[in-house]
Chain A
């Protein structure tokens, strides 16, 4: 359970996150959307301890993150970053094993238990057959799944994902998020998923938070948040929402008149 209460983050005088509150319950995906510069990535960086927070509170399972050191925090929250500039020298298995870092002793010794957890994480993300290949030889979709496995190996109740599908083709975007969806249900993880693509968010998130200029503009079920008037105002572009497919998923499109 992730609880964020009146979180405020600032770069100098500019408030990048302005009194944002929400909670994220186990077994669910919260999609975070918003135009560029709205504070989505800042939110992830603040939650994972990269940026200091100015005021407010972040709690995981009742524990205030402000009282935890880097290592303890990394046992609570794992981040799935975008695949960019991964060091070429490591094999997929070595990368996944690095997810065990917050659980290792000061020498960084890996035990049989850590090996097993890494193997399980790779099995769950279907990357076990890539284990001995160098990360640089893998495709973007495969690399992203390896990074997901690394986050799973961290054994945290919360996963933060920062636009994990940006560099993937459409098919891999769907495959990846499908996998995340299944994991969330199987293991009752909480996932905070920052995405650019509004239509993917609708398809995979249980709830959606809309950020705009550091403030929480809307929070609720996807079909509630995806209101054409609200979106048009926030994205500075006339948008329409149509329903697609048999289930009638909302689909956001520019309104060309």
Chain B
């Protein structure tokens, strides 16, 4: 199959298409020709001749930042999903299902409720607080779910659901107790990018780059880990150290995504799975492909979220959950039938 032979080419084409559509589609449709003209004039510093240019405002202060934020969040959720699956040797480990995303959400809302930040410095602390919340959740879920050194699927999901329910309840409580600005966080928690403009992008860019960058170097280690801790160590992998690296970076990456786009589920489940089916389970390939196509999936979901009930937007988390719920059941069924992954 040609897709499995040239996965990078196909993925980048998909990404490019999704980016173009995400920038062009919305309450105001920007025709391709005007899109190119507006981008070109900004790049070269010349005007389009029309002043004030309505497209330029929509494009540069709304569409582009949102598109980039969604793309980064998609890459982060999908990349960390793939990493969790490899680390826990469990095909259903998704940042949302194992409760990490809700933990990150609680951390972020806590930070917001202390002082709702509008400065860059304040915004930079949100990913950190989300990271702290997510890391604590990961450790708790792992400790609750493990039996010895194995992590049975049912235990993982049950612990994830329980911890997730608890942290979500605390988050809701915090939000109900709050007034004014924080109420907008409700929309955010359902997975709609509430904050617009370039500030959130600047705030998560450093964390996302580090997180995704480190994850990309872990492909070989994740391959070795698939044989179990004992064999991995006998093959020369310092297992405990590597596990910690992967947990910390996958959690950091998840937390970044959650910080400004809210709790979005199932992206980290759907994308790595499809890639495994098409291109096999080699993590050196799976990780980058999961990141690119994670961006694609979340961009497509976001476009849908904008157009299904236009002019009203629905939170993108609802779209991914609508697709992800049935997908989850399908994966569960498959993993019972055959051990293919």
Residues on A facing B (Cβ under 8 Å): 45, 48-50, 69-71, 73-75, 77-79, 81, 85-90, 94, 98-99, 101-102, 104, 106-109, 136, 150, 154
> Are B230 and A70 within 8 A (Cβ)?
no
Given contacts A88-B339, A88-B340, A94-B282, contact A79 B220 (CB under 8 A): no
**Nearest-Cβ distance from residue A135 to partner chain B, whole angstroms:** 10
User: Is B118 interfacial (CB-CB < 8 Å)?
Assistant: no
> 3 shortest A-B CB distances, which residue pairs?
A108-B220, A89-B281, A74-B236
CB nearest to B89 among chain A residues: A87
Cα of A48 to Cα of B235 in the assembled complex, Å: 10
> Are A107 and B220 within 8 A (Cβ)?
yes
B-chain residues with CB within 8 Å of residue A101 when the two chains form the complex:
220, 224, 235-237
A-chain residues with CB within 8 Å of residue B341 when the two chains form the complex:
87-89
Given contacts A50-B233, A98-B235, contact A87 B224 (CB under 8 A): no
B287-341 contacts to A, CB under 8 A, are: 339-341
Given contacts A106-B217, A108-B220, contact A87 B236 (CB under 8 A): no
B-chain residues with CB within 8 Å of residue A108 when the two chains form the complex:
219-221, 223, 284
> Are B234 and A78 within 8 A (Cβ)?
yes
Main secondary structure of the interface of A (DSSP, over half): loop
Sample of 18 A–B contacts (CB below 8 Å): A48-B233, A48-B234, A50-B234, A73-B236, A79-B231, A85-B228, A86-B227, A88-B339, A88-B341, A89-B276, A89-B280, A90-B223, A90-B281, A90-B282, A101-B224, A101-B236, A102-B236, A107-B220
Q: Indicate the member of B231, B238, B284 with the most A CB atoms within 10 Å.
A: B231
7 more contacts with CB within 8 A, not counting A108-B219, A108-B284, A136-B339, are A70-B233, A74-B235, A81-B230, A90-B223, A98-B224, A106-B217, A154-B236
A-chain residues with CB within 8 Å of residue B172 when the two chains form the complex:
none
B204-223 contacts to A, CB under 8 A, are: 217, 219-221, 223
Given contacts A89-B226, A89-B341, A108-B219, contact A81 B231 (CB under 8 A): yes
> Are A70 and B228 within 8 A (Cβ)?
no
CB nearest to B218 among chain A residues: A108
> Are B234 and A104 within 8 A (Cβ)?
no
B-chain residues with CB within 8 Å of residue A106 when the two chains form the complex:
217
CB nearest to A109 among chain B residues: B220
A-chain residues with CB within 8 Å of residue B220 when the two chains form the complex:
101, 104, 107-109
Cα of A231 to Cα of B140 in the assembled complex, Å: 50
**Nearest-Cβ distance from residue B286 to partner chain A, whole angstroms:** 9
Q: Indicate the member of A70, A79, A86, A88 with the most B CB atoms within 10 Å.
A: A70
> Are B236 and A75 within 8 A (Cβ)?
yes
B-chain residues with CB within 8 Å of residue A86 when the two chains form the complex:
227
Given contacts A94-B282, A106-B217, A108-B219, contact A87 B235 (CB under 8 A): no
